[in-house]
Amino acid sequence: MEDCRFETSEIQASLLMSTQLFTDSWSSCNTANCDGRIKIQLIAGITYVAIQAVPMIQLGDLVGLPVAGDVLFPGLSSDEPLPMVDAAILKLFFQLKIKEVLELELVGRKLVVITGHSTGGAVAALTALWLLSQTSLPPFRVFCITFGSPLLGNQSLSTSISRSRLAHNFCHVVSIHDLVPRSSNEQFWPFGTYLFCSDNGGVCLDNADSVRRMFNILNATGTPNIEEHQRYGHYVFTLSHMFLKSRSFLGGNIPDNSYQAGVALAVEALGFSNDDTSGVLVKECIETTTRIVRAPILRSAELANDLASVLPARLEIQWYKDRCDASEEQLGYYDFFKRYSLKRDYKVNMSRKRLAQFWDKVVKMVETNELPFDFHLGKKWVYASQFYQLLTEPLDIANFYKNRDIKSGGHYLDQGNRPKRYEVIDQWQKGVAKPDKCERSIYTSTTQDTCFWAKLEEVKEYLDEVIKESSDAQRRSLLLEKILRFESYANTLVKKKEVSVDVLAKNSSYSVWVGNLREFKFKMGYGNEIEMVVDECDAMET
């Protein structure tokens, strides 16, 4: 691990504080607070939406946030446990009719800053979150600045915001003496970038753990001040002119190491001395957040090299597929691998694992923001990931069904069984415009629907169940409908040549299944008329 050589948490803070954005946001908040209503104004091309502070509300009760599905926050990833927000703030969000107001007001805007002071800030953060977590991103840029606002939600909210890669849209300005932003309730959790400020300057922290740690240090050492909560106007004015004067080190010797010097300056910016105990705590806190090892750009450049080094594994699988396709058993690589008996299957399994490891790493790096911001839009990575998925997901499906616990009866496509990397790669593909398809002349080299085999495994089981007649009539007709739907879907794929030859190999699971189905239909006396029930558009949705 290479040492981080410079420290930027203070530069980031003073950069933000020197901008017009900072001062204009505050003046909008001020107006909103004085008028007691939402203030929307356009300054130098930026639309400021300031939400007024509403005093005298009871904070501290968490309530589940309606995420996923067609509700308020569909785009927010909804892992267990449920993201929760302050009930009073959510109520305010509805009471102030923010949704209705903004849906009208923000048409045609390019840059939108949502801001607010105190409770208004918490509502502002919720508003920005609502704008950003729609299924499609808004046609404008959103930035949220709050001043002295209380914490909005729980830890799960915080993690799902950063997993959805939205955290960088939030900045919370907090005076180190202000009590309101700290909550006595341990369940509340910070998210986004925090700008801690004092009369001497400011420091940005963007890691929730460090922010919490900083709150703890401030709780233990600071002198809380009720009036402090109303002093943001003073801070904004003082700090926005700070850049004109040079920042020299006050206490004693400057550390030789640039990183250490930077941290020492940051500690002073918060009004602490580097020598006393609380100063040392602050210093440690800043150090833990800023110790990012390498610049994202360099990391992604190296990743290109890593990708090249796992490519032999991909070629190995490709080669395996070609050999299976050509083999006399006429089985196709999916079924070969599911049988998994030969030494070469073992080797392929190793390759499969190596690739999975690599892509899991990439997905994780993207989630933790270690890679450049637009990494997943790069053509190289979109194609590389797609190619990987097309070739390898069938093997992962085969592996899943080979080792499946039959009693549990779970399927690959059920919640939680499909490896996350594929879902992420699916997401990436959505971001790319599809080229115009021309008609295919021969079968594709890999089946275009990577979950084809998983779907087949499901209907295979359904067919067995129907044939055995073990369940009641109602369920049987339901299953039969599913079977026919898949049959028609598969037919379309084959007709459009969107499948690879391995699907159609004489002894492949698919061919066998088609045979069984035909036999079953014949036995039951079904003609072709049933097939007509399912129309083609429907089939495509399967």
Partner 1 sequence: MAFEALTGVNGDLVTISWMASKGANQTEHYLKEEVGGTVFFAFRASFSSEDLFATENTSPFGEIKMKRNQFPCMRSIGNDVDTTVNEAFLKSLEVLIGPRTSFHASVQSAVDRKQQVVFTGHSFGGATAILATVWYLETYFIRDAYAAPEPRCVTFGAPLVGDYIFKHALGRENWSRFFVNFVTRFDIVPRIMLARKTTIEQTLSYVLGKLDSTRAPIHESDQVITEFYTRVMRDTYTVASKAVCQLIGNGEAFLETLSSFYELSPYRPVGTFVFSTQKRLVVVNNSDAILQMLFYTCQSNDEQELSVIPFLSIRDHHGYEELVQSIGIKLLNHLDLHNPLLDGENSIGSALDDLGMSTRARQCIHAALEAEKQRCQAHKNGYYDSFKDSNEENDFKANVKRVELAGIFDEVLGLVKKGQLPDGFEGSRGWINLATQYRRLIEPLDISNYHGQLKNEDTGPYMLHGRPSRYKYAQRGYEHDILKPTGMIAKDVFWSKVNGLNLGLQQDIQEILKNSGSECGSCFWAEVEELKGKPYEEVQVRFKTLEGLLEGWIKDGEVDEKEIFLEGSTFRKWWNTLPDSHKIHAPLYPRERMMDETRAT
Q: Which of residues 338-397 bind partner 1 (CB under 8 A)?
A: 369, 372-373, 379-380
Half-sphere exposure at residue 131, Cβ-oriented, CA atoms within 13 angstroms: 28
Active site includes 118?
Answer: yes
Q: Strand, helix or coil at 302?
A: helix
343, burial (CB in 10 Å: exposed 0-12, middle 13-18, buried 19+)? exposed
Active site includes 184?
Answer: no
Residue placing its CB nearer to partner 1 in the complex, 11 or 514: 11
Say whether residue 143 binds partner 1 (CB under 8 A).
yes
Concatenated DSSP letters for 419-479?
Answer: -HHHHHHHHHHHTSPPPPPPPPSS-BSS-SSTTHHHHHHHHHHHHHHHHHT-S-HHHHHHH
Residue placing its CB nearer to partner 1 in the complex, 46 or 355: 46
Residue placing its CB nearer to partner 1 in the complex, 183 or 198: 198
Residues paired with 175 in a beta bridge: 197
Concatenated DSSP letters for 6-72?
Answer: ---HHHHHHHHHHSHHHHHHHHHHHHHHHHTS-EEEEETTEEEEEE----S-----EEE--BSSSSS
Q: Which two tokens stand for residue 329?
A: 């058993």
Q: How far is the CB of 161 from partner 1 (least distance, A)?
A: 12
Say whether residue 430 binds partner 1 (CB under 8 A).
no
Residue placing its CB nearer to partner 1 in the complex, 195 or 517: 195
How far, in Å, CA of 214 to CA of 281, rounded? 9
Say whether residue 309 binds partner 1 (CB under 8 A).
yes
- Which residue out of 118, 162, 198, 210 is catalytically annotated? 118
Q: Which stretch binds partner 1 (CB under 8 A): 230-238, 289-297, 349-357, 467-475?
A: 289-297
Cis previous bond, 150, omega within 30? no
Q: How far is the CB of 314 from partner 1 (least distance, A)?
A: 9
Q: By C-alpha distance, which of 269, 178, 183, 271 is closest to 223? A: 178
Active site includes 178?
Answer: yes
Q: How far is the CB of 470 from partner 1 (least distance, A)?
A: 43
Residues in region 226-265 near partner 1 by CB under 8 A: 241, 243-249, 254, 258, 261-262, 265
Say whether residue 82 binds partner 1 (CB under 8 A).
no
Concatenated DSSP letters for 165-197?
Answer: T-GGGEEEEEETT-STTS-S-TTEE--SEEEEE
Say whether residue 141 binds partner 1 (CB under 8 A).
yes
Helix (H) or strand (E) holding 203: strand 201-205
- Which residue out of 117, 172, 177, 229 is catalytically annotated? 229
Say whether residue 40 binds partner 1 (CB under 8 A).
no
Say whether residue 19 binds partner 1 (CB under 8 A).
yes
Which residue in 6, 94, 346, 522 binds partner 1 (CB under 8 A)?
Answer: 6
Residues in region 169-228 near partner 1 by CB under 8 A: 169, 171, 193, 204, 206
Residue placing its CB nearer to partner 1 in the complex, 97 or 141: 141
How far, in Å, CA of 144 to CA of 398, rounded? 46
Residue placing its CB nearer to partner 1 in the complex, 306 or 536: 306
Q: How far is the CB of 111 from partner 1 (least distance, A)?
A: 5
Residue placing its CB nearer to partner 1 in the complex, 233 or 296: 296
Q: How far is the CB of 238 from partner 1 (least distance, A)?
A: 13
Tokens 């909005």 locate to 152
Say whether residue 74 binds partner 1 (CB under 8 A).
no
Residues paired with 186 in a beta bridge: none
Say whether residue 42 binds partner 1 (CB under 8 A).
no
Backbone dihedral region for residue 108 (phi beyond 0: left; psi -120 to 50: alpha; all else: beta):
left
Which residue in 230, 273, 445, 491 binds partner 1 (CB under 8 A)?
Answer: 445
Residue placing its CB nearer to partner 1 in the complex, 37 or 247: 247
Say whether residue 285 binds partner 1 (CB under 8 A).
no
Say whether residue 21 binds partner 1 (CB under 8 A).
yes
Q: How far is the CB of 251 from partner 1 (least distance, A)?
A: 11
Q: Which stretch binds partner 1 (CB under 8 A): 98-106, 147-155, 298-306, 451-459?
A: 298-306
Residues in region 454-513 near partner 1 by CB under 8 A: none
Q: How far is the CB of 496 from partner 1 (least distance, A)?
A: 11
Which residue in 32, 50, 62, 113 binds partner 1 (CB under 8 A)?
Answer: 113
Q: By C-alpha distance, which of 463, 461, 506 is closest to 484? A: 463
Q: How far is the CB of 344 from partner 1 (least distance, A)?
A: 18
Residue placing its CB nearer to partner 1 in the complex, 171 or 483: 171
Which residue in 1, 56, 326, 442 binds partner 1 (CB under 8 A)?
Answer: 442
Q: By C-alpha distance, which of 385, 389, 312 is closest to 351? A: 312
How far, in Å, CA of 250 to CA of 273, rounded? 9
How far, in Å, CA of 130 to CA of 95, rounded? 15
Q: Strand, helix or coil at 99?
A: helix
Kindly state the DSSP code that residue 110 receives in the 8-state scheme.
Answer: S
Q: How far is the CB of 233 from partner 1 (least distance, A)?
A: 19
How far, in Å, CA of 152 to CA of 114, rounded? 15
Amino acid code (one letter) for 144:
C
- Which residue out of 178, 206, 345, 396 is catalytically annotated? 178
Task: Evaluate whether 317 touches 351 at the Cβ level (below 8 Å).
Answer: yes
Residue placing its CB nearer to partner 1 in the complex, 53 or 113: 113
Q: Which of the residues are catalytic?
A: 118, 178, 229
